[in-house]
A and B are shown apart, each in its own frame.
Chain A
Amino acid sequence: MILYLTTLLLLLALAPMLMSFMKALKMWLLFKRPVSLLQGYRDFSKLLTKETIVSQEAGAITRAAPFLVLSPLLVALFFLPPSVKGAYYVSFVDAFTLTGLIALSAFFLMLLGLDSASSFGGMGSSREAFIAALVEPAMVLTIFSVSMMAGDLGVGQAGVNLAEHFPKAHMASYLFAAISFFILLIAENGRIPVDNPETHLELTMVHEAMILDITGVYLAIVETAASVKFVIFASLFASLFMPFGLNLPIPAALGVFVLKLFFVAAAVALVEVNTAKLRLFKVPNLLGIAIVFAFLSLITFYVLGA
């Protein structure tokens, strides 16, 4: 149990660093002087000391939504697969609950965008709703297919099962599911090519547009939510699609797990540097690829058993 809570705290603590790491790696690749890996923590602590400015046009949602954006993600954090062998894990929660919790967080984030009566907020919400609606089917199908290979719908159990019996026989469908999941990771976390996390240009903003009107602690909470969401996806990718290193001794296993997280972050950063942001109406094409791969994964699993 202590191990379980430690890994949770570790994930939570790592979240801002992973975001800074991606930013730093991108800057380094673009020949800029990279930001410090601690920048995320600095931003967070600075935001905590600032006063909160609440829009006079806004209603109760602005005051409530930041908490409701973060708390489902924190709950989801408890249900992730274990990162070391022997650690307690919640075996019974299945992936639908997990996606549901993430959607719940997104639901309140979208309402938050609409509450301050700014046209940017509405724009961000509208785009987020569009992207999220298309992410949902790909997500469910990918989960369906992975759970077939892992032999369990429970996320935690699936991670453990995959680590114990790597699905060598189903390499093709496993790979297809991994591709689909990686696209979803990018889309759900608002990274290039779906959304640019750094810009404040109204033509391209999605996530930033929704949170444009919140400040101080509220902003800190919502930014934390974004980084927690990335950690959730990264550790899901690490546990489900890179299921090795679980059986090492505890410190080594934890080290390998953290390395995997950084590997996922580095992969995302590389994709970000090498692609341009897609036009909003081209995003469905990318998500369409994810959906097709998810279907392919299921079909190869059923028909070829490969």
Chain B
Amino acid sequence: MFVFDTLSLVFVFLILLGVVPNLFYTFGYLPHIERKAHFLIHYITFILSMLGVVTAGNALMFLLFWELMSLTSWQLILTEAKEKSTIDAARFYFFMTHFGFVFLLLFFLIVTDGDLEAGFGAMHGVAHAFAYPTLLFFFLILGFLSKAGAVPLHVWLPYAHPAAPSPVSALMSGVMLKVAIYGMFRFLFDVLYPWPMEWGVLILVIGALSSLIGVLYALSEHDIKALLANHSIENIGIILIGFGMGMIFDALHLDKLATFAFIAALFHTFNHMSFKSLLFMGAGSVLHETHTKNIEKYGGLMKTMPVTALTFLLASVSISALPPTNGFLSEWMIFQSMLGSHAIDNMSLKLAIPFAVFALALTGGLAIACFVKAYGITFLGLHRSANARHAKEVNRPMQTGMLLMAGVVVSLMLFAPAFIGLFDRALTSLGRSSVYQAIFPDGIWHIHSVGMHGGVVSPLILLAALLLITGLLWFGYKALGVKERIHRTWACGYRTHARTQYSATGFAGPIRRFFNWLYRPEEHFVKETLAGHATKFDRSSYDVHVKPLFERSLYAGTVALANRISYYVYRLAHFEQTRYAAMIFNLMLLVLFSYRIFAHQFSWATFALESVVMIITVKVLIIGEKS
């Protein structure tokens, strides 16, 4: 019924690390929520169901908890359903999560061979006997990646996660996405194990695309929670890059490199949980005090909300993958595993992987830009609105939650070797060879890459050196005994004003302009000129809105297609009743014919013949003569 092997326990640990600080935060946030009972019931069930998913021992339990997790989180989004956009977001989430569920169900129906209570080990044999393992793989990734929010199934995520109350956003982005990653680990290893290289390449491509697209749309976002949600897409992409590299190395029998890449993916899973939860909590605190999600309305919050500002800074440095934080360590490991690709013999693959390196590096650069924007516009400078001016530090339980999560971030950095050891053990339990000795050949101070002539990083030494030198500089400064004078900022003779500061829109301006071909933003520029002068004006406003490409093309396109099809079906249905029978007849023909493909009785001759029969029956029976 339940399994408690190392992989499950690792993810139970992850969920607990994410949940415990969140409980404190939620306790502080609770007075803000109107429907307390509704919220608490779903909140507790949500946490229990996530624990249930990662410990489920058979398909039935897994699907049960998975569905429970989806439904409770859907209800949690609807906790404060005052605006129509929240209800729309919840509906979108509901649809997408069940879109994924259908594929998971199909996957399990095939691999369990009807016995839903069989253990995962039993599924392995069935999956091997199945003729189309790639079909199973596609079911699996459609099911899990639609939950994890990988491109192109990510579109719901920037709507759904921000719409929930902040502690729930932190849980959804920080923890729930990781449950999908658990699913990938569990079923790829336990059920579909020896995989062809192409699957790994597909995951790598999805990962690289997700990371770039996530960070690019995060940059153009003004809603702080949507910005963070877009970063979740990016980080899931980074995890998938590590995962994909692991799958590729495994298929090529580069055992050590494969384990190293999987450890990197797991490590980034943990790191993303820690800093993304912290960021969502920080954003929630800011939102709680200023009552707006619009980043342009913040500013100067560092002076009044020091705890939030400091923890948010820690998380920002970490998510931007700057040394010596934990985010840097895992991204470093992923880079190292990609650099291990020079051990690959396949030339085309060897030449392709630098493009993934490029994508990840560009993602890193853009993430720095994005978090300078998020942090600088929110916490630095002058208050940009009255709401920001009246903000105070949040209550104690919320502060405790943030500080605890900051503690998790710091301990992931300080105890990286212990965590890597844990991940190594989890992967060993999945039948991989251990690389702990290769990563730490001489003590826990240096993390080594397992590739040939790989790099080395030593987080603790770096941290100590940075602290020491900063401290020395600071003492030097104090020793100089410099006089300090406070004066207002020089703004070329004008007073600095909240409106003369750089805005978030302006900050992302150059990057938005460079990626104009992708964004294709809708710009609204209004200028009220004075008495016919071309250059003098007293009011102007500039507003830019970016609608994501995938939403515009893929999703809007699907909706349009569905509308067209339903229109034709509607037209057919309004013909005389004989045509219903004809439609059913044709549908049966289609099912029978396509069954042959599954039953391995496929031949092109019969396929052509049957196609002709199908076309004739459709023409004669359904469409009939043109009237």
Q: Which residues of A contact B (CB under 8 A)?
A: 48, 50-61, 67-68, 70-72, 74-75, 78, 92-97, 100-101, 103-104, 106-107, 110-111, 113-119, 121-123, 125-127, 129-130, 132-137, 139-141, 144, 147-148, 151-154, 212-213, 216-217, 221, 280-281, 284, 291, 295, 298-299, 302-303
Contacts and interface: CB of A to CB of B under 8 A. Distances in A.
Contacts of A101: 323, 462
B228 to A, nearest CB: 18
Interface in B323-344: 323, 328, 332, 335-336, 339, 342
B375 interface: yes
Interface in B431-484: 446, 449, 453-458, 462, 465-466, 469-470, 473-474, 477, 480, 482-484
Contacts of B511: 129-130, 133
Contacts of B358: 137, 140-141, 291, 295
Given A114-B381, A141-B361, A302-B350, A59 B300 contact: yes
Given A56-B488, A130-B511, A153-B339, A114 B366 contact: no
Contact of A126 (B302, B317, B507): B507
A241 B274 CA distance: 41
B331 to A, nearest CB: 9
Contacts of A68: 470
Contacts of A92: 446, 456, 458
A75 B462 contact: yes
B377 to A, nearest CB: 7
B361 A137 contact: yes
Given A51-B483, A104-B323, A94 B362 contact: no
Contact of B473 (A67, A106, A299): A67
B364 interface: yes
B357 A114 contact: no
Contact of A302 (B347, B449, B513): B347
20 contacts: A53-B484, A53-B487, A70-B473, A71-B469, A72-B323, A93-B456, A94-B456, A97-B462, A114-B372, A119-B502, A122-B507, A126-B502, A132-B369, A133-B366, A133-B368, A141-B357, A221-B477, A281-B510, A298-B351, A303-B351
Contact of B485 (A54, A119, A154): A54
A97 B457 CA distance: 7
Q: Which of A50, A125, A144 has the most CB of B within 10 A?
A: A144
Contacts of B456: 92-94, 153-154
B491 interface: yes
A217 B478 CA distance: 11
B293 interface: no
Contacts of B380: 58-59, 61, 111, 114-115, 117
Helix, strand, loop or mixed for chain A's interface?
Answer: helix
B368 A121 contact: no
Contacts of A93: 456-458
A134 B358 CA distance: 10
A52 B483 contact: yes
A118 B322 contact: no
Contacts of A59: 300, 302-303, 379-380
B489 interface: yes
Contact of B491 (A119, A129, A295): A119
Nearest to B371: A107
Contacts of A212: 490
A135 B336 CA distance: 19
A101 B332 CA distance: 13
B339 A129 contact: no
Interface in B271-303: 300, 302-303
B320 interface: yes
A295 B354 contact: yes
Contacts of B321: 100
B382 interface: yes
Interface in B486-521: 486-491, 496, 498, 500-502, 506-511, 513-514
B362 A119 contact: no
Closest 4 CB pairs of A and B: A122-B502, A94-B455, A136-B365, A114-B376
Nearest to A110: B372
Given A96-B332, A119-B502, A125-B372, A217 B489 contact: no
Nearest to B376: A114
Contacts of B488: 55-57
